[in-house]
């Protein structure tokens, strides 16, 4: 089978349409990401993930944003209402780890093997509430402590974690879903933002980029499209050598920045791009322009799977 394209894409609804399956066969992405529009109940969701892997391959990663609190694609009555990450601030690491393990078990039980969590962003006063209680704390050391526990819990449940939003979304004053935030903090000030990512750089997780322009690092381009931010900061100063996936390229922050966002993000240093709308024509255009996975990306993907294998352990059955 040919090397897949360096993309993870969304689909439109709770089942895989014939035209979607045909597109996935024609321009095979690495994996898929699911949202509330794709989720009905456990039997339906397990059937959907199985159908996706029928087209993409048995090891194709299927992602979900399941953080707890506001950001949860799987919800009651079929799944647990997990608390927001901020509620663990100051508490025992064991509680955070156990919560993440249970959350991961619920994902794994329906075929979701990559969980886009935890946030390692700082919860800073005055920032836009798009982050808010999704972040553990304003204290970098506390974010590192609880983030490490979250990563361990997800890996123990058999899921690959995705730390986000590297190199830090906490200072953004606008929502990157709507427009491009510009952060004017100095390099010295940004040292606090990158500290949790640096501390957990070797944890085996993937990392998701922030669609933010950091003037101190690159005056012209947001992190997702910046060779300087990815090469010098994320791969260099932070020391992250895991799978680097872009945040959703369809977000408002990326509007008008490039006619080929997938190519620009991969050229800047991302291993994968994320495109989430599920609109067939948009997905087709993205996949047609997207290059194949690089050898480096394949190596990093294998290392993340190995980290899960090393951490996985027997956990209580999901009811």
Catalytic residue (choose from 41, 177, 260, 306): 177
Tokens of 113: 């093997």
193 is catalytic: no
Structure tokens at 129: 């509430």
Report whether 172 contacts 222 (CB < 8 A). Answer: no
| Alpha helix stretches (DSSP H) within the chain | 18-26, 42-56, 93-109, 140-156, 187-199, 227-228, 261-268, 280-289, 295-311
- Burial of 193-202, coded b for 16+ CB within 10 Å and e otherwise, reads bbbbbbbbbe
DSSP state of 119: B
Residue 114 CA to residue 66 CA, distance in Å, equals 10
Q: Please confirm, yes or no, whether 218 is among the known catalytic residues.
A: no
Q: Which residues pair with 68 in a beta bridge?
A: 71
For the chain, the C-alpha Rg in angstroms (whole number) is 18
Of the residues 65, 199, 247, 271, which is catalytic? 247
Query: Of 204, 202, 184, 205, which Cα lies nearest the Cα of 193?
Result: 184
Instruction: Label the pairing between strands 66-68 and 71-72.
Output: antiparallel
Active site (catalytic) residues:
177, 247
């Amino acid at each position: 089978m040919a090397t897949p394209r360096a993309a993870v894409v969304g689909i439109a609804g709770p089942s895989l349409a014939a035209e979607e399956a045909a597109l996935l066969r024609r321009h095979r992405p690495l994996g898929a990401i699911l949202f509330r529009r794709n989720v009905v109940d456990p039997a339906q969701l397990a059937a959907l993930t199985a159908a996706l892997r029928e087209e993409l391959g048995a090891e194709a990663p299927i992602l979900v944003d399941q953080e707890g609190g506001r950001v949860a694609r799987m919800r009651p009555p079929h799944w647990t209402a997990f608390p927001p990450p901020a509620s663990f601030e100051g508490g025992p690491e064991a509680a955070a780890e156990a919560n993440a393990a249970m959350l991961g078990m619920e994902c794994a039980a329906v075929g979701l093997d990559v969980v886009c969590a935890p946030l390692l962003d700082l919860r800073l006063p005055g920032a836009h509430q798009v982050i808010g209680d999704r972040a553990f704390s304003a204290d970098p050391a506390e974010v590192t402590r609880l983030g490490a526990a979250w990563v361990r819990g997800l890996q123990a449940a058999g899921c690959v974690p995705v730390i986000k939003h590297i190199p830090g979304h906490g200072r953004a004053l606008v929502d990157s879903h709507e427009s491009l935030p510009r952060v004017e903090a100095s390099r010295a000030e940004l040292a606090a933002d990158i500290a949790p990512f640096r501390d957990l750089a070797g944890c085996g997780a993937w990392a998701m980029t922030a669609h933010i322009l950091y003037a101190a690092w690159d005056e012209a381009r947001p992190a997702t499209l910046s060779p300087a931010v990815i090469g010098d900061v994320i791969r260099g100063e932070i020391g992250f050598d895991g799978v680097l996936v872009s945040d959703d390229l369809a977000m408002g922050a990326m509007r008008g920045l490039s006619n080929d966002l997938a190519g620009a993000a991969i050229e800047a240093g991302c291993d994968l791009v994320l495109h989430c709308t599920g609109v067939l024509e948009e997905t087709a255009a993205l996949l047609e322009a997207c290059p194949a996975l690089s050898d480096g990306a394949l190596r990093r993907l294998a290392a993340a799977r190995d980290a899960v294998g090393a951490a996985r352990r027997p956990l209580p059955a999901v009811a």
